[in-house]
Amino acid sequence: MKKFVTIAAAAAFLFTGLVNTASAQTTQEQIEALLAQLAALQGETVVSGECAAEFTYSGVLRQGSRGQAVMDLQADLNTFNNAGIAVDGAFGPGTRAAVVSFQASQGLVADGIVGLQTANALGAVAQASCANGGNNGGDMNLPEGCTSTMGYSPVTGERCDMDMDDMDEDDDENDADEDDFPMTGDGDEASLEDYNFTSEDDAQEGMMEHVATAEFDVEDGDFRLDRIDLTFVPDAGNDEDEPWDSFETITLQVDGDEIASEDVDDEDDWLDDDEPYEFRFNDIDFIAEDGDQVEVEIWVTAQDGVDGVNSGDATWTIYIEEEGIRGLDTAGIDQYTGDEDDTVTFDIEEEGDDADLDFNESSNNPDEETLAVDADTESEWYDLVIGDLEAEGAEFEIEEATVEIVLYDVSADADLDDAADVLFDEVISDLEMMFGDEEFDDYDVNTSLTGDNAATLGDVDGDGDNNDATYTVIFDLDDEFMLDDEEVQVSVMVEFQEAEDYPQGQEIMVSIVDLETDGPDGADVDIDVVDGELHSLSIFAIDAELEDEENSERVETYTIAITADDEGEDVLIPAGVEEEGSEDATTGFVYVLEYGTVASATIDNDDDLDEEVIGGVTYYRVDAGETEEFEVRFNFAADAAAEDDGNVTIEAIQYTSEDGAGVFPVEVLDDDVNYSAND
């Protein structure tokens, strides 16, 4: 009453002041100004005129944050979620509890931290609310005693988010209609049987966790659950032994639906000021039918910074005493259950103790291959390294990624410093990182050998020459990528320059060496270095696939389909077939002899392949973008002592392309080429 008088007096004062300035303002403007000033006095936001969200996401907010963004967040939580918190720009326990409540209502991780997902959810609620008339309740006919859609009516016990106009329909979807639960005393007497109290998870600072479940059967009649008394007992070794200094909220759920939730961080919230400490939920009003098994889940939100958490001295035991669960059956008789000897013990863990963030090599990491580039234009985009990033138990923000790129054999010139500086821009046109389906292209790289994150020269390939250049690339994600209990692929994509300024066969390897993250304290963060494979760049490239294999007496035939990349040039396959160690520039297919004796090895051409001679060497041509089938036939000498006469494995395919009057040096496709008749 005292607060009402104060505000009313303030309103009269403000209104008088506004009337004195009527010459400068319209009546509507005066009203809106008065509403805004009253809202400031009450610590609330009043929506007047146009309905719109105040809060715009500009970075993670958590307890301790201050400023205009926090004030806008508080205003929207009041306007669109009926939070009833002060709009003061200080992210304190009250604001955090409001965020936790909102996150839980939206099915998000209820950690009290406002990241991108929470911000998006609040925006969606605001948009839906505005579309429904500019308030969270719209035109709902609220139950008696409710002033908003939050919580329960102190008069009837009904959920305040129930529209009384639709109550009959909603009750049908609940466990029983009001007409099926008369309070006349003429119904059946129920009984509550087989009570059981089971342990679930430990509590965690700043998180709403499921710590216990109370289970009982309803038999012989319907039952309305009205009250639950929970008893909390601290461990003798606890640094903090009063529950209002350890817990923020207690929430009850049945089948995933909240049936009650209360703040418990004030001594006055509890029935007892000495242990054992008892907390009572009244007016629950959950209806169960005859034959139902009721499972009441107990969720607690532990406060931040509970004494003893780091040393393991924050242990609590809870139970429901013998008549701690109470309600009424349709015969008008009170029914009880509970068992003070059936207890659950749980610890309060440091925030993030159950949270994990792992980054490691993906099974989709590209294999070693020759990448097709173009002599005249930039290449297509290639994924050169892929890792898997997985978050569990909390929301993590990825702020920055560090990538290393190695270009091999920079130059034969004496001035390697200048060569390393120039080569990066000659080879690489652009870079991008993908986190899931989100693309990031804001990066910085120092290609010189001096300054921050300078390039280095060394013997990376082990050939004895210190002419392999390593470049450090820093991707700035600008606080825009959040990961919440999910797994995504992370990749680095490269677009290459036209090939005229660097040699055919230029080799490159890309690695993701670090991710800078922000998550809960105590989280287990394991970021592995993920290396890509060695790739070479060529204006001609091929793919090879085994189409068929046939075995007959002393003969093995492999049918191999070879496709020339449509981004590159026509490909030439030398016509020779030689055993490994004997291959040269005239060899197209290289094999390993497993056993037996190869009498002959040839490419069987029935005029299906275009054959041509260049510089005295016979080649088969595969046009760019086309596929040709090669039948490679091995004839074995007879071996009477063996079950069969022999076996070979094709280990590599050599190929090249035209270079003016001659050909380029032979390149080798030795990845994914392992064809054996006995495989």
Query: CA 143, 149, 153, 158 torsion: positive or negative?
Result: positive
Tell me, what's the pLDDT at 25?
42
Closest of 559, 13, 571, 64 to residue 304, by C-alpha: 64
**pLDDT at residue 556 above 50?**
yes
Contact 224, 286 (CB under 8 A): yes
Q: Average pLDDT, stretch 148-156?
A: 47
Looking at the structure, do residues 6 and 87 belong to the same domain, yes or no? no
User: Could you tell me whether strands 587-596 and 576-579 are parallel, antiparallel, or unpaired per DSSP bridges?
Assistant: parallel
Say whether both 337 and 379 belong to one domain: no
Residue 242's pLDDT is: 93
More confident residue, 412 or 512: 512
Last residue of a domain, one of 349, 377, 402: 349
Q: Within this chain, do residues 35 and 81 fall inside the same structural domain, yes or no?
A: no
Question: pLDDT of 31-46, one tens digit each?
Answer: 444 444 444 444 333 3
Structural domain contains residue 585: yes
Q: Which of 616, 619, 646 is nearest to 630 (CA)?
A: 619
**Quick one: average pLDDT of 91-101?**
88
- pLDDT tens digits, residue range 324-365? 999 998 888 889 999 999 999 999 987 666 778 999 999 999
Count of domains observed in the chain: 5
Domain stops at, among 149, 169, 189: 169
673 and 651 in contact (C-beta within 8 Å)?
A: yes
Helix axes 68-81, 116-131, angle to 10 degrees: 50
320: pLDDT strictly greater than 60: yes
Q: Do 162 and 198 fall within a single domain?
A: no
Distance separating alpha carbons of residues 445 and 632, to the nearest angstrom: 48
Picking from 135, 169, 203, the residue at the C-terminal end of a domain is 169
Asked if the structure places residue 574 within a domain, the reply is: yes
DSSP 656: B
Asked whether residue 240 falls in the same domain as residue 134, the answer is: no
Same domain, 36 and 111: no
In this predicted model, which residue has the larger pLDDT, 554 or 48?
Answer: 554
Give the per-residue pLDDT at 496.
Answer: 93
Q: Which residue has the higher pLDDT, 463 or 140?
A: 463
DSSP, residue by residue, 384-424 = EEEEEEEEESSEEEEEEEEEEEEE----SSS-HHHHHHHHH
So what's the pLDDT on residue 415?
A: 57
CB atoms within 10 A of CB 49: 9
Report the mean per-residue pLDDT for the chain.
Answer: 80
In a domain, 440, yes or no: yes
Minimal CA–CA distance to 76: which of 104, 97, 49, 95?
95
Which structural domain, as residue segments, surrounds residue 157? Answer: 52-169
Residue 1 has pLDDT above 50, yes or no: no
> Once rounded to an integer, what is the mean pLDDT over residues 239-254?
94
Q: Does 313 reside within a domain?
A: yes
Residue pair 97/28 in contact by the 8 Å Cβ criterion: no
Provide the pLDDT for residue 670. 53
Determine what percent of the chain falls in helix, strand and coil, rounding each to the nearest 5.
Answer: 15, 40, 40
How sure is the predictor about 79, in pLDDT bands with cuts at 50, 70 and 90? confident
**Average pLDDT score over residue span 227-231:** 96
- Asked whether residue 472 falls in the same domain as residue 578, the answer is no
Instruction: Report yes or no on 258 lying in a domain.
Output: yes
Mark whether 127 and 186 lie in a shared domain.
no
What pLDDT is attached to residue 17? 42
**Best-predicted range by mean pLDDT (200-204, 287-291, 649-653):** 287-291
pLDDT-based confidence at residue 673 (cuts at 50, 70, 90): low
Q: Tell me whether the omega of the peptide bond preceding residue 276 falls within 30 degrees of 0, making it cis.
A: yes
pTM of the predicted model as reported, rounded to 2 decimal places? 0.47
Max mean pLDDT among 211-220, 481-490, 598-607 falls in 211-220
Under the banding of pLDDT at 50, 70 and 90, the label for residue 640 is: low
The pLDDT, as a whole number, for residue 277 is 95
Evaluated on CA atoms 33, 35, 39, 42, the torsion sign reads positive
Residue 30 has pLDDT above 60, yes or no: no
Return the pLDDT at 345.
Answer: 95
What pLDDT score does 205 carry?
84
19, pLDDT greater than 50: no
Is the same domain home to 316 and 195?
yes
Distances (CA, A) of 447 to 54, 63, 459, 614: 44, 42, 18, 41
Per-residue pLDDT at 246 exceeds 90 = yes
pLDDT for 23: 39
Residue 372 has pLDDT above 50, yes or no: yes
**97-106, 476-485, 542-551, 620-629: which has the highest mean pLDDT?**
620-629
Residue 47 covered by a domain: no
Task: Please check whether residues 379 and 444 belong to one and the same domain.
Answer: yes
Say if 408 falls within a structural domain.
yes
pLDDT of residue 57: 80
- Looking up residue 466, the CATH number of its domain turns out to be 2.60.40
Q: Could you tell me the pLDDT band of residue 158, with boundaries at 50, 70 and 90? A: low
One domain, residues 131 and 29: no
Q: Indicate if 115 and 215 belong to the same structural domain.
A: no
Residue at 576: amino acid letter: G
The reply to whether 12 falls in a domain is: yes
